[in-house]
Chains A and B, each alone.
Chain A
Amino acid sequence: MPRYRSPVFPFVRPPELDGRAGRRWPVAIVGAGPVGLAAAIDLALAGIASVVIDESNVVSTGSRAICWSKRTLEIFDRLGVGDRMVAKGVTWKVGRLFHRDREVYAFDLLPEPGHKRPAFINLQQYYVEEYLIDRARDFPDLIELRFMSRVTGAGQDPDRAWVDVETPEGKYRLAADYVIACDGVRSTVRRSLGLDFIGRAFEERFLITDVEMAAEFPSERWFWFEPPFHDGQSALLHKQPDNIYRIDLQLGPGADPEEERRPERVIPRIRAMVGERPFEIDWISVYSFQCRRLARFVHDRVIFAGDSAHIVSPFGARGGNGGIHDVDNLCWKLAAVLKGEGPSALLETYNTERVHGADENILNSARATSFMTPKSRMERLFRDEVLALASTHPFARQLVNSGRLSRPCSLAGFSLGTAETSDLSGTMVPGAPCLDAPVRGANGEDGWLLDHLGGSFIALGFGALASTPPGVRGLTVGGSGDLQDPQGLLAARYDGAPGVVYLIRPDQHIAARFREPTAAEISRALARAQGSSNA
């Protein structure tokens, strides 16, 4: 009996079913999962209306994506839902790795002080969806959520894209300037366009369960290679809110998913792992390992984001996080195109930048999968001996791969960034996602840099800021400026001597940086970051 009770969202009869045309939507979003909902909110923050279409009338069943990274929490902050997620979630930073019956080593993500958000929280996907739906309700004029509405097909012509929708009260076709397909790994939109994934599917399957138990396991990620309680395979234990533990157990390549998910098969495995303490199974699923993506994420007026565009093996927290990072990258560009502030070529940069992000996620998760599931005797020998060396030789610990945890993806070298000509040091190069730092506002209130960035282009100036082009919000640090740097961390992280200026994208990525730039230099960098081909 699942502990979580989803709110039930009613079906509302849309005007299209009564022969009325309904409005022409700028954007139709297929799928009300975390990715689709985040997209609707991000577009609404930019003033763009969207309709979100989902076949269900409840949020996700089972925990599914549970592990949300610091960068994702920063995006959730920008969307106005970060505090609620972090308040409910389990914050963790320690991981322990076991081989057979011994602990090989523990790692501490050792978060550097001076950041608002922790490295990770664990929070069941159903809570993430519930909170995003609540947030979407803050924009009644800009977001319409249509539940119990199944998309059965999609298409486009040069002027519009459309989806065919089936509801309990009939069918209709809905047109929009753009369709964002956030309808998951079995995307109907993808199939309707005749598109296939490229990449690699592994034979391995994992049994994935939510178990409710009153236990004193700490808020840590525990991973076993060949645990004594699960013959020759691997296992993961992760704590979630509400006394729910996530347990993932690797199944052999020949396992029958239907057989393996039967409670009489699952319960003894959990019992072997958690001992005699009482537990209840909350949810059971079986998934296969895949590392695949679409060749392109942008198909004219139909754009793919999240699992509909790319799918990775778990254990790196790269699925749900990758989808939110897609949204972060896409929505300001789509809003600019729809408002006539940017060329449609700007959308092509979503394709190149997020294909790059997906490839990084796929590479990391494919390598973790290979380490967890050796394919030959020699691969297994190497894996086992890395583990053997790791307990006494620290170098080998860094070769142990139980999932390389999601890190923000750098866009350095891509076309929207202005090549660096200054002698500025540090990691905040064009293309990098902005690092957070503590700041003090004009009224003396303590806060965080990232809460002041995003939503529009920003010129962040240390000391005075001469002039900013139209469409760029100026933000000055120090002196009588907008922000003070009480701990000096902002200047340290941004090499922020007086006269240094950063141009920052609406998605909190650095577009350019300069020492004492002219207004023309900033304008040129802005035009380039907005997709102008002659900048």
Chain B
Amino acid sequence: MTDPTLTTTWNLGTDGDDLYARLMAAHEGLSDDESARLNVRLVLLLVNHIGDRVVLEEAIAAARRCGPEPTNAT
């Protein structure tokens, strides 16, 4: 097992609550659909910014692990 390269320790200094609030504010006044689209654009911008396949693979795996089991709903 190689060392993970995805940073999962605290990395936001003292800005955590501000940044969380900023994220919430970005969704203010948006419908569920518009919010989902905003999230998608954020993911795409950040994925391109990170640009590191290993980090992204680990992030995808970590996100999948913490979520609910897939329901295979159609």
Q: B40 interface residue, CB < 8 Å from A?
A: yes
In the complex, what residues of B have CB within 8 A of residue A399's CB?
44
What residue in chain B is nearest A385 (Cβ atoms)?
A: B40
Contacts of A381 in B (CB 8 A): 36-37, 40
- Nearest A residue to B51 via CB reads A395
Q: In the complex, A386→B42 CA distance in Å?
A: 11
Whole-angstrom distance between the Cβ of B34 and the nearest chain A Cβ: 11
> Which residues in window 375-410 of A have CB below 8 A to B?
378, 381-382, 384-386, 388-389, 393, 395-396, 399
A129 and B45 alpha carbons, distance in the complex (Å): 47
Dominant secondary structure at the B interface = helix
Chain A: CB-nearest residue to B48 = A395
Q: Is the CB of A389 within 8 A of B37?
A: no
Number of A-B contacts (CB under 8 A): 23
Q: Is the CB of A385 within 8 A of B48?
A: no
CA distance A395 to B36 in the complex (A): 21
Cβ distance A328 to chain B, nearest Cβ, rounded Å: 33
Q: Which residues of B contact A389 (CB under 8 A)?
A: 41, 44-45
Residues of B close to A378: CB separation below 8 A? 36, 40
Complex-state Cα separation, A385 to B45, whole angstroms: 11
A382 to B44, CA, bound (A): 8
Q: Within the complex, what minimum Cβ distance (angstroms) separates A384 from chain B?
A: 7
CB-defined contacts of B44 to chain A, threshold 8 Å: 382, 385-386, 389, 396, 399
Among residues of B, the one whose C-beta sits closest to the C-beta of A399 is B44
**When the two chains form the complex, which single residue of B37, B45, B48 contacts A384, counting CB atoms closer than 8 Å?**
B37
Apart from the given pairs A389-B45, A395-B48, 8 other A-B contacts in the complex at a CB distance below 8 Å: A381-B37, A384-B37, A385-B37, A388-B41, A389-B44, A393-B45, A396-B44, A396-B48
23 contacts between A and B (CB under 8 A): A378-B36, A378-B40, A381-B36, A381-B37, A381-B40, A382-B40, A382-B44, A384-B37, A385-B37, A385-B40, A385-B41, A385-B44, A386-B44, A388-B37, A388-B41, A389-B41, A389-B44, A389-B45, A393-B45, A395-B48, A396-B44, A396-B48, A399-B44
